[in-house]
Amino acid sequence: MVCLTPHKTQNVYLCLDTPGNKGDNFFAKLMFEQFLGKLRKYEIRMRKAVTSERYGNFHSVFKGSGLEFDDLRLYQYGDDVRAIDWNTSAKGHGTFVKIFKEDKEQTAFFMLDVSASQQVGELKRLKIDIAKEICGVLTLSAIQEASRVGLLCFSDKNERYIRPSDGMKHGYGVISELYKLVPESSKTNIAEAILVTLNVLRRRSLIFLISDFIDNNYQHNLKALARKHDLIVIHLYDSREVNLPGLGIIPLYDAEKQSTVWVNTSSKQYREEMTSRFSKRSSELERLCHQNRADYISINTQEDYVPALIHLFKVRRYTKSSASS
């Protein structure tokens, strides 16, 4: 086990299990500290950009703004009839209305696709690498705003679940689990992961669903997730999934099906079909999100993802300010 140095402003140590000899442990510590350093740098960059005179404090991005049920009381003249609890009132003991209180505590919950289709891209720029970075950066942001953070890493099974909690130590624990996770399964089942999330999160939460969405039959469950929670969909893709280079006849390996197929990438028709499939899948996903009031962003893993996150949170910050004014 290697214990890393504490964050400069927090008296928190992070321990990472690293089996092997001392040389392996030193290398693991070095690599993980580099990973943490990158996350901190990106988080600060994002926070500075979002926090401004125009857009206000970054604080509201991870804070709840809704109402939650608190109690019942007898109906009084002037009460909003929409607040009447008809089930309780039907028992014959009077007309009761629901009392709500402002819900300021927010849970940020990350759903991360770790299936084999995420193992695509250049060295150190695989979709899974970028997904873990985004998850880590947003975890740091949420924890620093006193939000609770939870995590579900999924393939076609639950690879790792961390119950939502707060505190810097918990946040670093989430990042540690992200960094060292090695999935057991290669397949994907987004629909099942959504069902798990709906079951474990009883209160309205801010959910980040991070995936390449190379899967089928998840749309109905995604609608249910967006209805119950504040959903942000982050769609990751590699540039070669959009514009396949003409390299002649080459083998393409399907990591999830664990099969190889030979394709002629010199064929313009084939490359156009690949581009068309991606465009159709991404546009349908974006439309589904907008129809169900979920935020959607697509991120090319070969490009800097921080500007996309900055734009997302500026828009959300502005929307919240407009709604409250």
Residues 279-292 have a mean pLDDT of 96
Residue 11 confidence (pLDDT) above 50: no
* % of the chain at pLDDT higher than 70: 80
Question: Given its phi and psi angles, is residue 164 left (phi above 0), alpha (psi -120 to 50 degrees) or beta?
Answer: beta
Q: pLDDT-based confidence at 90, cuts 50/70/90?
A: confident
The pairing of beta strand 259-264 with beta strand 295-300: unpaired
Q: pLDDT-based confidence at 260, cuts 50/70/90?
A: confident
Which has more confidence, 279 or 54? 279
For residue 107, the Cα-to-chain-centroid distance in whole angstroms is 12
Which has more confidence, 179 or 80? 179
Residue 19 confidence (pLDDT) above 80: no
Residue 229 confidence (pLDDT) above 90: yes
Residue 245 confidence (pLDDT) above 70: yes
Residue 64 confidence (pLDDT) above 60: no
* % of the chain at pLDDT higher than 90: 50
Q: Please report the domains of the chain, with CATH numbers, ordered by start residue.
A: 67-103 (no CATH), 107-324 (3.40.50.410)
The rounded distance, in Å, linking the Cα atoms of 150 and 197 is 10
Instruction: State the DSSP string of 20-52.
Output: S-HHHHHHHHHHHHHHHHHHHHHHHHHHHHH-B
The rounded distance, in Å, linking the Cα atoms of 108 and 207 is 6
Residues 273-283 have a mean pLDDT of 92
pLDDT tens by residue, 118-173 = 988 887 789 999 999 999 999 999 998 878 999 999 999 999 999 999 999 999 99
Q: pLDDT-based confidence at 193, cuts 50/70/90?
A: very high
The rounded distance, in Å, linking the Cα atoms of 231 and 223 is 10
Phi, psi for 125 (deg, rounded to 5): -125, 25
Write the CB contacts of 134 (distance below 8 Å, at least 6 apart in sequence): 210, 234, 299, 305, 309
For residue 205, the Cα-to-chain-centroid distance in whole angstroms is 12
Q: Check residue 227 and give its pLDDT.
A: 95
Residue 234 confidence (pLDDT) above 70: yes
Least confident of 81-90, 189-198, 214-223: 81-90
Q: pLDDT-based confidence at 60, cuts 50/70/90?
A: low
Q: Check residue 264 and give its pLDDT.
A: 83
How far, in Å, are 56, 236, 247, 254, 278 from residue 272 at the CA level?
A: 44, 20, 14, 20, 10
What integer best gives the mean pLDDT of the chain? Answer: 83
Q: Check residue 12 and give its pLDDT.
A: 44
Which has more confidence, 120 or 228? 228
pLDDT tens by residue, 94-105 = 898 877 654 556
Nearest to 181 by CA among 189, 173, 192: 173
The rounded distance, in Å, linking the Cα atoms of 144 and 10 is 10
Q: Check residue 215 and give its pLDDT.
A: 94
Q: Can you give the pTM of this predicted structure? A: 0.78
